[in-house]
Structure 1
Amino acid sequence: MLEIIVSTLILVICGYLIAKNYDAKIVLFGAGLLLMFAAVGLGHPLLPEAQSSGLSWLDPFVQIKQIFISQMGNVGLTIMVLFGFSSYMSHIGANDVTVMLLTRPLSRIRSPYLLVPVIFLLGNLLSLVVPSAASLAVLLMATLYPVLKASNMSSLTAGAVIATTATIMPSPLGADNVLAAQKLGIPLVEYIVSYHAPISLPTLALMAVVHYFWQKAMDKRQQARGGLEEKDESLALPTGLPPAYYGLFPVLPLVLVLLFGICFTHISLGLVEITFVCLLLTIGVELLRKGKIKETSKEFAIFFTGMGTGLAQVVSLIVAASMLVEGLKAIGIIDTLVDSVKHIDGVGSILMFFFSGTAALIGFISGSGLAVFYSFINIIPEITEKVGVNSVSVALPMQLTANLIRSMSPVAAVIIVIASITGSNPIEIIKRTSVPIISGIICCLTLSYLLFS
């Protein structure tokens, strides 16, 4: 009983601090460490005797080392390499070329509401190249926003559509997808093709349709209240871009991953190896085009800087989340939870709504539900296995909800970026994104229940 009280108290404090925008990494790390020390104080062994330091009060630090070693392996390295590759693509202008090539035909479409679903789906496609929601928003506001304004689309409609672009695209390059596949014990391509895509693609199609009708209705409502207040924003378009064929480089890893995963299955190449192949190919083209070895070698250092960004932004969060999970395991709360639900009818649905609801609540308050997802993805397979439930039916809807809810949070970076550029109140943007996002979450939960429960 004391274990439950201590765990609940620490988790409540942890949730409160994250909701108040304290650094999630520090909060989760500290909460995990507190739980470990509480477990030791309550007489629960933290490590097997063979791995123990010999003094139980020092075992939490041994556990920290083991967590770092574990998470910095395959998953951590993959995420850091992807961040490094994306940073290098941005530095040489390849990402900008990809965006410009894909958005150029849109200038011919003059119907603003016809553009709404097109921009939404195109933006999600571009999230394969620029996975960060805030970074993609800045890029799209610089490249697409002038096109949308020229078609007489309102600022709020354009902002709302762009705010919902980087959400749930089934990409093998996404850090959350890499982690989920690894923790669930499913090959990455299989996870994307067999589990993620059957849920996310119909959801994106539904959201595109909902966007069309909702933005049209909101514009009419605002016009009835006194007209749409428009601000003429002048945004600097990217200049000095490399040749058009550079637009292929950012999507090349995606193409090769799918190619080797579906067509050439006898060749065993992981995402890290494929990314390095694409990176070296790009560097070779840069050398041939510029003919400056010294300059190109200096630019290559951007790759390692990007790896550091991946470590600081994502891998460190995964490590901190693992700390919390290990603390919960050590104090026995996971076993208690499993014992309390394993004999309940419909336990799969209960777990799905509990984990997805938690991600939605924390994500709405804090601006990111992925911190919660990174925390719980470590224990979901263990819990579902013990109660006889398909792990995907719990983990996947939570993952998708965590990604979607970001576009409904007034404190999310992507909302703040768009509100500042359009000169709008973040709440006005949220009003425009809320119905498409809620529709998407309901669709994800429904399809997950029907297909995987």
Structure 2
Amino acid sequence: MVWIGIAIVFATFYFIIKNYETRLVLILSGVIMAALGGNIVSSVNAFVKEFTNSGLVPTICIVMGFSYVMDYTGCSKHLVAFLTNLLKKVPLIIIPGSVLVTFFLNIAIPSAAGVAAAVGTLLIPTLLAVGVRPAMAASAVFLGTWGSVMSPGLMFNPQVAEMAGVDVMTVIATFSKQVLLAALAAALILMVIAHIKKEGVGSQRLGDEIVESASIKINYLFALIPVLPIVLLVLGSKQVQLIPEFTVPQAMLLGTALGFVVTRKHFGDMTKQFFRGVGDGFCDVVGIIAAAAMFIQGMQVIGLTDALLDMMKGSQQIAKFTAAFGPFIIAAISGTGNAAALAFNGAVTPHAATFGYGIIEMGSMVQIGGGLGRTMSPVAPSAIILAKIAGINPMEITKRNMIPTIVATFIVLFTLM
């Protein structure tokens, strides 16, 4: 039965890589494994349970609602324009600066595709205008799209927090230094690659009019709104405690309300956008979590989870590298590490102490590995968006981001676990 389970898991990720509907593939795989194991009801119950998960559902849905309002009001665009203008003033560090600007924006706007579209339309023309080659310009922006691993609204951080019995900001504080170090290292490595390949600043000249076509008049108050919830969460966290503690939904709702008041757009339309985001968050994010829960339960019923745990108990190093590079490889191939990270966190991370690690450390490493793997994938939606803006093949981005993402994964792996 274990070998059958392994075959089903490989088939699952094959179909996900082939771009079949992820939720359907996970559900069918979970049902098949549970049926073979003789307990299909438990798999169905696991699916239903996630839709009423009080720790995950409100956080994910409200973050998505906030994100939709920020996009509709233009606040996200003003923030991006503000940071882009700062980079234009220091062309010598524009490549690593572009990586890090995108990284920090991806914390406030946790959708990789969303931040790629918002940042790419402004930052890529800026990079081209100072002589950066198109492939390097797209690579610099794409390399920053794993900043969402530090977002309190990313599905994995509340998941790990719930397993560990702590708040979300405690989870993020555990790995923030390691992730920031890895992000800086990746940005500097890409700068070196740009120098070696002669693709950096001054390697070509396309004219400043390209930047002017993408510029907007910045409203600095609008630019502040998208980052306000993050600021509130940090200042109110147990590690800082400068203000009363906020939950993620509370901070995001306050940010949404301020977006309404400050931008003064049509309140009815903004309300529709908020609830559209809430609905899409439930459909696209909570839905895949529920489907993954069904898949995880199927692995448990058929005996695959216990077999995997027994194998990993034999060596801490196996557990360590599997947690990082299992999701990394699948994400690099498929363009998304969500399914693999959710499955690993659901099946293995609760047993982290068995391997000598903490739940927070292992669970965080899993999602960071998946995020970094996606950040070198040529089939990730964000890579395709940026390649189209820059007018290049997405594989050109992968060639440049492969070394920085692998090095960043090793840095987090050896400093966190």
In the superposition, the TM-score normalised over structure 1's length comes to 0.84
The residue aligned with 1:246 is 222
1:275 maps to which residue? 252
- How far residue 63 of structure 1 moved from its aligned partner, in angstroms, is 4.3
C-alpha distance in 2 between matches for 1:315 and 1:116: 35
Find the counterpart in structure 2 of residue 415 from structure 1. 383
The one of 60, 71, 77 equivalent to 1:90 is 71
Distance 2:189 2:406 in 1: 10
The answer as to 2:133 corresponding to 1:174 is: no
Distance in 2 (alpha carbons) for counterparts of 1:35 and 1:305: 35
Shift in CA distance, 219/395, structure 1 to aligned 2, threshold 3 Å:
same
Shift of 1:230: 7.8
Query: What residue number does 1:306 align with?
Result: 277
Instruction: Kindly report which structure 2 residues correspond to 1:180-329, keeping only aligned pairs within 5 A, or say none.
Output: 180-193=160-173, 195-219=174-198, 237=214, 243-262=219-238, 263-264=240-241, 267-287=244-264, 295-329=266-300
Shift of 1:143: 1.2
Residue in structure 2 matched with residue 12 of structure 1 by the alignment = 10
Find the aligned partners of 2:206 and 2:334 in 1 and give their Cα distance: 29
Cα drift, residue 384 of structure 1? 2.0
Partner Cα separation in structure 2 for residue 21 and residue 355 of structure 1? 24
SS at match of 1:378: helix
Contact 2:378 / 2:394 at 8 angstroms: preserved in 1? yes
Percent of matched pairs sharing the same residue: 25
> Offset at 1:233?
10
1:127 corresponds to: 106
- Report the Cα distance in structure 1 between the residues aligned to 2:139 and 2:305, rounded to whole angstroms: 40
Judged with a 3 Å threshold, the aligned counterparts in structure 2 of structure 1 residues 447 and 104 are, in CA distance, closer, same or farther, namely same
Partner amino acid, structure 1, of 2:226? P
**Deviation at residue 117 of structure 1 after TM alignment:** 1.1
Residues 80 and 306, structure 1, Cα contact 8 Å, conserved in 2? yes
1:142 corresponds to which residue? 121
Whole-angstrom distance in 1 between the partners of 2:327 and 2:24: 18
CA positional deviation for 1:324: 1.0
Counterpart residue type for residue 422 of structure 1: A
* 1-structure distance, mates of 2:136, 2:199: 11
Q: CA deviation at 1:285?
A: 3.1
Answer yes or no: is the 8 Å Cα contact 1:211–1:436 preserved in 2. yes
Map residues 331-350 of structure 1 onto 2, 5 A cutoff. 331-342=302-313, 344=314, 347-350=315-318
SS of corresponding position for 2:385: helix
Residue matched to 1:76 = 57
SS at match of 1:128: helix
CA distance in 1 between partners of 2:13 and 2:388 (Å):
28
Amino acid at match of 2:3: I
Tell whether 2:80 aligns with 1:99. Answer: yes
The Cα offsets for residues 234-283 of structure 1, whole Å up to 9 and x where unpaired, read as: 685365x7832111111111111112114448945311122222222332
Letter in 1 for 2:141: I
Alpha carbons of 1:312 and 1:219: their partners in 2 closer, same or farther (altered >3 Å)? farther
Residue 20 of structure 2 aligns to a residue in which SS? coil
User: AA paired with 1:419?
Assistant: A
Q: What is the CA distance between 1:388 and its match in structure 2?
A: 4.4
CA 1:206–1:276: 2 relative to 1, 3 Å: same
Aligned partners of 2:279, 2:218: CA distance in 1, in Å? 26
Greater mean alpha carbon deviation, residues 413-422 or residues 172-181: 172-181
Which residue of 27, 38, 53 maps to 1:29? 27
Deviation by residue 1:173-211 (Cα, 9 ceiling, x = unmatched): 333323222233332111111x22121011011112111
Q: Which amino acid aligns with 2:76?
A: N
* Secondary structure of 1:165 counterpart: coil
Deviations 1:384-433 (A, max 9, x none): 23444333443222211110111221211122112222221222221111
| Counterpart check, 1:155 vs 2:134 | yes
Within 5 Å, give how 1:420-439 maps onto structure 2.
Answer: 420-439=388-407
Looking at structure 2, the residues matched to 323 and 438 of structure 1 have their Cα atoms a distance apart, in angstroms, of 31
- In 2, distance between residues paired with 1:336 and 1:189? 33
Question: Do the aligned partners of 1:32 and 1:328 also contact (CA within 8 Å) in 2?
Answer: yes
SS at match of 1:261: coil
CA distance in 2: counterparts of 1:389 and 1:115, whole angstroms: 38
CA contact (8 A) 1:218 1:432 kept: no
- Amino acid of the structure 2 residue aligned with 1:269: F
Tell me how far apart the structure 2 counterparts of residues 106 and 215 of structure 1 sit (CA, whole Å): 17
Conserved in 2, the CA contact under 8 Å of 1:334 and 1:383? no
Aligned to 1:371: 339
The match for 1:64 is: 47
Aligned length: 413
Change (3 A) 1:327 1:212: same
Cα shift at 1:335: 2.6
Q: Distance in 1 between matches of 2:243 and 2:351?
A: 34
Aligned to 1:442: 410
**Structure 2 Cα separation of the partners of residues 444 and 67 of structure 1:** 29
What CA distance in whole angstroms lies between the structure 1 residues aligned with 2:406 and 2:49?
Answer: 39
State the shift of 1:232 in Å. 11
* Partners of 1:85 and 1:306 within 8 A in 2: yes
